[in-house]
Homo-oligomer: A and B are copies of this chain.
Amino acid sequence: MDKHTPITITLAQRDEAVTITRWVYDTLHNAVLLGQIPPGRALTIRELAGLLEVSPMPVREALRQLSAEGALEIQGNRRVMVPRMTAMKFNELVEARITLESHAAERALPYIDKDCLQRLTAIDAEIDEAEANSDPENVTRLNQAFHRTIYTAHPHQVTQPLIESLWLQLGPFMRLSAESLDEYYQIDRHQEALAAIEKHDPLALQMAIAADIRDGCAFAKIPSKLQQLLN
């Protein structure tokens, strides 16, 4: 899988009045999150430039940014790829998510007002709809929006970029989660979170967030899924 594996990337919407570099970044960011680029697959500047029909320069910049964010990895001698996963690393990423996101949720709780709560409820409804339609990509996207809305309620938030980095590192492997979610009864952790917010109960909110993250990554406990993770 070092080369020649064809990759298909869904192009981000080309907003006018935005730099090409930014557009390339958004496109690749999404591709990584959706697992459209196989881990270990060598990425070259010129190949991506051709694929996206832009000059190599914006690709170069986007690749460096994504590498700094942990979405990509620069091999020993300047070759870039989506990092390969290991069982240990996956576990560490999940534990880091729980710690960091519990912290972010607790800090943000005092700032979640009625309006914010209403937006959260709306997102949760959309998630239910996407789940009913078996639309895993939107479930993932909306789930992230749910969490992001909570954390960024804090006006002096500093952990969101770190959390996004963890999401990026887990992203390529979460499609395995989406495939097996419905196979298991899942308690609605978002409802628990919303209830905790209404009661202004920091501990209950942390517990709900932690449980939600654990549920979302539970697929890694299934041997067959774990194997796919590492392939």
Chain A residues in the interface with B (C-beta under 8 A) = 60-61, 64-70, 86, 88-89, 91-93, 95-96, 99-100, 103, 107, 154-159, 161-162, 165-166, 169
Contact = CB atoms under 8 A, between A and B. Distances in A.
Contact of A95 (B107, B166, B169): B107
Residue of A64, A107, A169 contacting most chain B CB atoms (<10 Å): A64
A62 to B, nearest CB: 9
A133 to B, nearest CB: 34
A95 to B, nearest CB: 7
A150 to B, nearest CB: 15
A108 to B, nearest CB: 11
A147 B162 CA distance: 19
Contacts of A60: 61
B103 A70 contact: no
SS of A interface (majority): helix
B165 A92 contact: no
Nearest to A60: B61
Contacts of A161: 70, 165
A99 B103 CA distance: 7
A145 B154 CA distance: 32
Contacts of A155: 88
A5 to B, nearest CB: 26
A67 B156 CA distance: 18
A80 to B, nearest CB: 13
A130 B116 CA distance: 50
Given A61-B60, A65-B65, A158 B107 contact: no
Contact of A92 (B66, B100, B157): B157
20 contacts: A61-B61, A64-B64, A64-B65, A64-B68, A65-B65, A65-B67, A68-B69, A86-B156, A88-B156, A89-B158, A92-B107, A92-B154, A95-B103, A96-B103, A96-B158, A96-B162, A100-B103, A162-B162, A162-B165, A162-B166
Contacts of A88: 155-156
A202 to B, nearest CB: 14
